[in-house]
Amino acid sequence: MDLHLQYVTNADGERIAVQIPLTEWEAYQAEFRKLENRLAGQKALKAEAETATRTKREGGTQHSLFSFD
């Protein structure tokens, strides 16, 4: 994503803030939300895999979604 940033400077010419066009900010936020959701899904899968591994190691019974018919 190519951002068109504008810098705000103080009287000494030092950068103190950044401005970004609203449409670019909204696109950035939408992409960030997608990545957050993907990461949450990956974390959930990892947690489920760890649970299955622990259950198997401890000799517990594992069930798939298909075994609840």
Decide if 69 is inside a domain: no
Q: Please report the pLDDT score of residue 20 as a whole number.
A: 96
Its domain, for residue 50, covers 22-57
For 35-58, give one letter per residue: b (16+ CB within 10 A) or e. Answer: eeeeeeeeeeeeeeeeeeeeeeee
What is the tally of structural domains in the chain? 1
Return the higher-pLDDT residue of 25 and 52. 25
What integer pLDDT is reported at residue 63 of this predicted model?
Answer: 67
Query: Is residue 64, in this structure, part of any structural domain at all?
Result: no
pLDDT at 52: 81
Task: Assess if residue 14 is contained within a domain.
Answer: no
Residue 12 domain-assigned (yes or no): no
pLDDT tens digits for 6-43?
999 999 999 999 999 999 999 999 999 999 999 998 99
Residue 52 belongs to a domain: yes
